[in-house]
Structure 1
């Protein structure tokens, strides 16, 4: 009997898998609901465990009855002899040699028989002279060859079935091994100090990916174990040290003094236009650089008017482009300015076609930067999809908006660990130009660990 275990989402799915793998004779022995995966009692998923079995003896095909030997008539024998005369090893070579040694052919006017036909006739007479011996020998050879082919086919079929069963068994053992490793890891986490568990749960509540929460817990626990009694270190300091090691390289340097063109890309509604106005005011007033605007956002209603309003307030020029061919004209017209901010249209950048389209508007060069703008109010799964699309084109700078509209900041850890982004600025309001500041890892750590940030 063959017994197999299935872990599926629901019972109909298990029934379909059992019928396809074990056949219609299989029976279900047991079903129960289980929970797999998760971390610290969270993120586990409900599954159904189904045990099925089938009796392999009932699946074997019945043995085929041997075919009865039929007597061979003389006419059939003669026809078989004529077909096999030349190729059969039983043909007397002397008869063929003597036939070929005679006069090769008669005159063209007389009808003659070919040497091959004469050799076949002589061979046939030789075989007919001893029909029993040679016919039985031929029949035995044919039966032996047929039996050998049948044995090889059966062995190949059995070997294939054995390989499939072995592969299925190895796959099941591998999944059980992975499950045991996860359970062992969870058991290890449960044995960690309560203070480490506290900060791990805090990061999980903040939306940090479970894989990174596990890494965080292991790192904090290692720091706590390596700390000597003389150098007593609180769990908060250990957690802060781990997060700081993750974020210290993620701090960007802002807009470089040598940069001349800055492109802003991102999905709809993240606040690109308002952010451009904030940065333009900051560069104009604080760094005394002459600034100009270029916009390709001609899809959104009143988008050009919004940026023109900011341009009028800041007293900076604005150029509108509708295609990549018009960019050269805009760059030449604004050639005397120190810094150009280019606004692109917000689109559904989960679609790679739109990403490729906006990438065609970006002018590559050593004096250009491209900044991806994302909103903290979006789901991490959506932010991850958009970030992956632009990361393929080499975009590695990030600007995060709407910090004041959320209390969950774990997505920043996920983005930094997943894509190695550099974060230059964050925005926390709509006031121009005040509600923008450089990214500060220390401030983010205080928000993640529940400490009140400095406003």
Structure 2
């Protein structure tokens, strides 16, 4: 039997059934509520004739709230107290409905004679499916899904110590800019977050550093200033035509002078010693036209005497810039304290040492981001030659994701 023949049979059966049992209309805010009304009034075996959305309220009301209308008929003679108001006095004719708010969706022919119990089951499954679809399309669900690429990136950055508010902000930017499919791609999510982090920090080029006549390396004890001074001189031996000078003002620490002499002899760069600010200033003036790197004593930003001593030295040096030398293992609070103290002394950038001594770089990232202080160089290991490289924000951000420069 073809579809048209089956349709005619269905319609004939419906008209015949309606002749025996009148149709009733039920309205509610949603499909499930309307079907429950049908079941309560006509019983679980009631037949669903049609369903659609219609406008509720009086005809004069401009803003009409949409409701669901279900037309159904019982399979037996219900009690008068249980009967709802018939929609039509003539049982063989389906009445004209109220003006629909949205276009009516016809019920498939195969579902015309669905019972209310079956309809409720279908409606409940449809609601569950719609809820699941809505959840899957909600991008902010990715923030709570521990298995999603974005959640994995967030967890990684938080474990690194990157500022939590910043991480959350970047995650939400990613959600706004990415499609659902893109959010499932770990490579794209990682690349995007790394790009966003990289633009949060700045760098100072080696050329900008060398444009000054005097560069003072300042930092806490144990940061590696003497070793870094040697590495910088080795770097500029290859990259600059300027005459290079090494001035060591770190004459108090035991072994400091001996260490500096070994490096200077290896590099064949004369080492000069200064035991006070005025002597250091005179040496720098004599070296006019070249590039003088000043290795200063270690200082503690929380000790007033230490701050005064380093301040006197930096104030005496002509045309100097200051580079803060900090270990990658340094705490964020200590780095920020040093930056605050050194700001008045022409602090230009930061050199991060001992990059091989830790796997966590969130503190340094936070300090560079909060202070807007550029990174100048990154260094790791004890080797003087080829162990220092200009800072690249993308490379440094890569360390937060476990990516090491080759």
Equivalences for residues 73-112 of structure 1 within 5 A:
none
Shift of 1:354: 1.8
Q: Which residue of 2 aligns with 1:263?
A: 216
Shift of 1:189: 4.8
Higher deviation after alignment, 237-246 or 256-265: 237-246
Q: Residue 213 of structure 2 contacts residue 319 of structure 2 at CA under 8 Å; is this kept in 1?
A: yes
Q: Residue 262 of structure 1 contacts residue 342 of structure 1 at CA under 8 Å; is this kept in 2?
A: yes
In 1, Cα distance between the equivalents of 2:263 and 2:331? 30
Secondary structure of the residue aligned to 2:233 is helix
Q: Which residue of 2 aligns with 1:292?
A: 245
In 2, Cα distance between the equivalents of 1:356 and 1:227? 58
Q: Which residue of 2 aligns with 1:356?
A: 308
Which of 337, 340, 345 matches 1:388?
A: 340
Q: Which residue of 2 aligns with 1:211?
A: 165
| Cα distance change on mapping 1:227 and 1:445 into 2, 3 Å | farther
Shift of 1:278: 0.9
Shift of 1:307: 1.2
State the Cα deviation string for residues 225-264 of structure 1 (Å, max 9, x = none): 69999x99932232123113223xx121124343211100
Q: Residue 142 of structure 2 contacts residue 151 of structure 2 at CA under 8 Å; is this kept in 1?
A: no
In 2, Cα distance between the equivalents of 1:444 and 1:226? 29
State the Cα deviation string for residues 128-178 of structure 1 (Å, max 9, x = none): xxxxxxxxxxxxxxxxxxxxxxxxxxxxxxxxxxxxxxxxxxxxxxxxxxx
Larger radius of gyration: 1
What TM-score, normalized to structure 1?
A: 0.53
In 2, Cα distance between the equivalents of 1:440 and 1:208? 18
Whether 1:415 aligns to 2:367 is yes
What TM-score, normalized to structure 2?
A: 0.59
In 2, Cα distance between the equivalents of 1:199 and 1:232? 9
Which of 305, 312, 315 matches 2:268?
A: 315
Q: Residue 285 of structure 2 contacts residue 318 of structure 2 at CA under 8 Å; is this kept in 1?
A: no
Shift of 1:306: 1.4
In 1, Cα distance between the equivalents of 2:181 and 2:307? 49
Q: Which residue of 1 aligns with 2:100?
A: none
| Cα distance change on mapping 1:222 and 1:354 into 2, 3 Å | farther
In 2, Cα distance between the equivalents of 1:307 and 1:206? 35
Q: Residue 350 of structure 1 contacts residue 389 of structure 1 at CA under 8 Å; is this kept in 2?
A: no
In 2, Cα distance between the equivalents of 1:413 and 1:331? 33
Equivalences for residues 147-158 of structure 1 within 5 A:
none
Which of 329, 340, 345 matches 2:297?
A: 345
Shift of 1:340: 0.5
| Cα distance change on mapping 1:309 and 1:453 into 2, 3 Å | closer
Which of 256, 259, 265 matches 1:303?
A: 256
Equivalences for residues 134-173 of structure 1 within 5 A:
none
Whether 1:438 aligns to 2:390 is yes
Q: Residue 361 of structure 2 contacts residue 399 of structure 2 at CA under 8 Å; is this kept in 1?
A: yes
In 2, Cα distance between the equivalents of 1:227 and 1:398? 40
Number of residues of Structure 1 aligned to a counterpart in Structure 2: 265
Q: Which residue of 1 aligns with 2:46?
A: none
Q: Residue 270 of structure 1 contacts residue 374 of structure 1 at CA under 8 Å; is this kept in 2?
A: yes
Secondary structure of the residue aligned to 1:246 is coil
State the Cα deviation string for residues 96-140 of structure 1 (Å, max 9, x = none): xxxxxxxxxxxxxxxxxxxxxxxxxxxxxxxxxxxxxxxxxxxxx
In 1, Cα distance between the equivalents of 2:211 and 2:335? 30
Shift of 1:446: 2.6
Q: Residue 279 of structure 1 contacts residue 433 of structure 1 at CA under 8 Å; is this kept in 2?
A: no
Which of 277, 290, 308 matches 1:324?
A: 277
In 2, Cα distance between the equivalents of 1:328 and 1:241? 43
State the Cα deviation string for residues 24-43 of structure 1 (Å, max 9, x = none): xxxxxxxxxxxxxxxxxxxx
Secondary structure of the residue aligned to 2:253 is coil
Whether 1:277 aligns to 2:230 is yes
Q: Which residue of 2 aligns with 1:240?
A: 194
| Cα distance change on mapping 1:321 and 1:442 into 2, 3 Å | same
Unaligned 5+ segments in structure 2 are: 1-139
Q: Residue 224 of structure 1 contacts residue 233 of structure 1 at CA under 8 Å; is this kept in 2?
A: no
Q: Which residue of 1 aligns with 2:36?
A: none
Shift of 1:447: 2.3
Equivalences for residues 178-257 of structure 1 within 5 A:
189-190=143-144, 194-224=148-178, 234-247=188-201, 250-256=202-208, 257=210
Unaligned 5+ segments in structure 1 are: 1-185
State the Cα deviation string for residues 23-79 of structure 1 (Å, max 9, x = none): xxxxxxxxxxxxxxxxxxxxxxxxxxxxxxxxxxxxxxxxxxxxxxxxxxxxxxxxx
